[in-house]
Structure 1
């Protein structure tokens, strides 16, 4: 995974220009609580450079950027997104600055997702159970076993809709790894699974007991469960037949008003210091030298390196999206 390096900084001239620009405007699908530790650490390290964060889903991010650049309005300096298809289209349309951060030499090859696009974290999709309704010794450790159990829990198992970029990423990674066997598991789950628009509704219904089990839940819930009151009710597990890890991509935009400040922010995110701040927000750092209970080594220890669906974007993800979505909808009766 590359040698750890606490500081792989930008050159002094770029840092000086960044400080004169004074702010970074970030569009991201991460919520305010997730971003707060990152913003605090970045602004502390680079006094005078402010991080402004607008939270929105991935389609809104890319649509807003298109609208603002078309009308000449100030737009994002950096975008952070999970949707592989939208991000690759964003690159192909010429909206990303072809910037190579010096941290890349200390990161694994899969960190670079496309020209100018790099993963700031590799976030897992997990299964989460209501322990009052499904005790630990009854909780499936893999998705295939959950599919079998779902036959007796019809309507008591939940997930998010395939239109959610994290759900699509999880499904595409899982079936890419397992092929037809993976699709058989997904199709066995379909008739017995309730579908929610997002993780908020999913977790609320799980906590209230409407669901006994949920799967392909955003890994950020780990920080909300461990050591919190929720851990008396909820328990999460990494899936042993394939825990999808989705790269959360960051890129400096072609129309950035503060391009050097944007580079400074990306450089910070990819440093050990930035990755540790990201860990505080529930993200999953993947580079060596990062102290994080939710980091990649912890997931590898739980399920084994061979059972992690890790890497860059799935091959042919843009070309295959429609067929994956259509097959999923058929399985789930959507």
Structure 2
């Protein structure tokens, strides 16, 4: 086991590696990619028609507003621009509320705004749709994808990203790391103040909580009520992971799955370890949509089409996203998660019925449990 002093010495390096988590803003206890699993056979890929592709090339660029950080998007950008030479993918990184507010401000003032938005906030995206901001575009690839890929009119999932638990291995050895939230709730009683999560205002936290309690009901709330008094709450994953690396926290839960790629093969792997939760791993769709006021609507459609192709899903994997399309060999894909937790514990959040109406009650109950 690595000593606490050595863990703290590594924290500075880890903090640099994990800073990117804040922009996304998460086998029990293994910071090694899941062993190769059967990913199935790839379904057909349906490209856009020649006329739309030709118009896209004339438009020459796509402006994307996304909650994914620059490191995550880099492999996607490289692959898309290599496939469609002459079309530039311009990426602006911001959180979901900033995306929706910026779009509203820019459209009101008549300046260039996003061609595509990418967000994790289900309620925010549904409100965005209701305000008439999304082009009702049906990509031809959807016919070959699972039903949960279609989230709302014009809105599709480009990935299904898990929320994970992360441990400081210098403080909680691998063989002592809880593999489910029920066990972590029990452990939290003896390490009060040493467990962390993100605030319910963070889309990842709300998505994790709402998905978990929708599946487990009052039993799920009982676990959260046990965790609440013992848990420190951070605004985002960056602060959460930095404190975990420094030893201020020993464990964290409902952490954005993007940290997997930032831990594995990095200095952080010497002191940090993640696990999928075996009593239910929430999988949150990262949604994409072509905007109604897109300046490059055909280039935007081409980008969404790319994201839903096997090639696009493979590029997303390199950024730490979790592709869901069959035939994509990815250590972070849904088959890899299923190999650990089993199909019954894959909690695909989607856009649950009445989630907009139910959000205030979920937030209020969470705040009571966490003393916020």
Instruction: Find the residue that maps to 1:290 and give its secondary structure.
Output: coil
Q: Which residue number corresponds to residue 100 of structure 1?
A: 138
Question: In structure 1, how many angstroms separate the alpha carbons of the residues matched to 2:298 and 2:218?
Answer: 47
SS for the counterpart of 1:201 is helix
Q: Does 1:279 align with 2:279?
A: no
SS of the residue corresponding to residue 126 of structure 1 reads strand
1:333 aligns with 2:371: yes
Tell me, yes or no, if the aligned pair for 2:282 and 2:349 is still in contact at 8 Å.
no
Paired positions, count: 334
Q: 1:193 aligns with which of 223, 226, 231?
A: 231
Match of 1:305 in 2: 343
* Aligned residue number for residue 145 of structure 1: 183
- 1:32 maps onto 2:80 in alignment: no
- Is 1:116 paired with 2:154? yes
Deviation, 1:231, is: 1.2
TM-score by length of 1: 0.98
Shift of 1:3: 6.0
Deviation at 1:232, TM superposition (A): 1.1
CA RMSD of aligned residues (A): 1.1
Counterpart contact for 1:129–1:206, Cα < 8 Å: yes
The corresponding residue for 2:102 is: 64
Aligned mate of 2:124, from 86, 94, 99: 86
How far has the Cα of 1:315 moved from its partner?
2.1
SS of 1:152 mapped into structure 2: coil
Distance 1:52 1:238, change over 3 A: same
2:265 matches 1:227 = yes
Residue of structure 2 equivalent to 1:156:
194
Partner of 2:327: 289
Task: Give the Cα–Cα distance (whole angstroms) in 2 for the partners of residues 143 and 309 of structure 1.
Answer: 14
Pairing 1:320–2:358 present: yes
State which drifts further: 314-323 or 32-41.
314-323
- Indicate the residue corresponding to 1:136 in structure 2: 174
Alignment of 1:172-187 (within 5 A): 172-187=210-225
- 1:3-57, Cα deviation, whole Å (9 max, x unpaired): 6246310000000000000000000000000000000000000000000000000
Where structure 1 has 5 or more consecutive residues not aligned to the other structure, the ranges are none
